A and B are shown apart, each in its own frame.
Chain A
């Protein structure tokens, strides 16, 4: 027969890793001893298995339904475990450190690329650099905004916008690179032939077609 001590220990193990476990189970031993003292029926029979007891207890403590908790916390636990395992790897640690150092560079590139993209939408396709003062001013503003955003990337709104900008930046870069290599567009062929640098946005939308 399970003693109150054994039962409490099993509940404790089921809640292993919970940050508030000790606080939560502070008087569990006394409580279970109380229950055990009032009847001869075994604890497991009266309270169910310790794991279920632990789940119900936590659900009441955190005010949510036991089943929803099970799935979510399992997901969180396995994500956390994966991260911990990755962090043990020297390669992963140096890679994440390296990527963090690259961030400012990416902010500048992102601003430049998106600025040039907007310029292209406004005035037609061009090479890798703006060709007039307005173009340079627009690109400079875009770079400044991108860096400002990167340095302030805190809070849900800013992070969401920054993520969207990152995706847009990567997308425009990818389209530009692929377009420069494979596009059969005569404009691009012409641009590429005229200058050795690949065109940044070689596949303009009809509205942005250059006037020739």
Chain B
């Protein structure tokens, strides 16, 4: 099964989870997703997802000046974002448990 197809449905949740841990800028979010094992995730998808979550009012953003490289725009969860994260996480956990038990039955 192509994991990039699966990823599409849960990229929001993955980004929310990374930002719940601590605030991050675009490339930082991407790197942390990859470090967590989501190798297939694309830079453009993460960037687009961040912009959409921001537009939806789930994120705050602030710019941090940097001496060497470019300025960095950090994103973090606000109250709406935390509520969205909690509810999506619950949905995902229950869905994953259902799938796991379904697969177990199939293999038995």
Contacts and interface: CB of A to CB of B under 8 A. Distances in A.
Contacts of B27: 31, 34-35, 38
Chain B contact surface mostly: helix
Interface of B: 8, 11, 25-27, 42-49, 51-52, 55, 69-73
A60 B70 contact: no
Contacts of B8: 65
A53 B51 CA distance: 15
A58 interface: yes
Contacts, number: 64
Contact of A34 (B11, B25, B44, B48): B25
Contacts of A52: 44
A23 B72 CA distance: 17
Chain A interface, >50% SS class: helix
Interface in A110-165: none
A9 to B, nearest CB: 16
B48 A58 contact: yes
A48 B33 CA distance: 19
Nearest to B49: A60
| A interface residue count range (under 10 / 10 to 19 / 20 to 34 / 35 or more) | 20 to 34
Nearest to A50: B44
Contact of B71 (A24, A30, A62): A30
A61 B51 CA distance: 7
Contact of A56 (B26, B42, B55): B42
Interface string A41-56: 0000011000011101
Contacts of B51: 23-24, 26, 61
29 contacts: A23-B55, A24-B48, A27-B73, A28-B47, A30-B71, A30-B72, A31-B26, A31-B73, A34-B25, A34-B69, A34-B72, A35-B27, A35-B43, A37-B69, A47-B43, A52-B44, A53-B43, A54-B44, A56-B42, A56-B45, A57-B45, A57-B47, A57-B48, A58-B48, A60-B44, A60-B45, A60-B52, A61-B51, A61-B52
A192 B31 CA distance: 85
Nearest to A59: B48
B54 to A, nearest CB: 9
Contacts of B45: 56-57, 59-60
A154 B41 CA distance: 44
A175 interface: no
A37 B43 CA distance: 15
B70 A37 contact: yes
A4 to B, nearest CB: 9
Contacts of A56: 42, 44-45, 48
Per CB-CB distance, the 10 closest pairs between chain A and chain B, nearest first, are: A60-B48, A56-B44, A61-B48, A57-B44, A33-B70, A60-B45, A57-B48, A31-B26, A34-B27, A27-B73
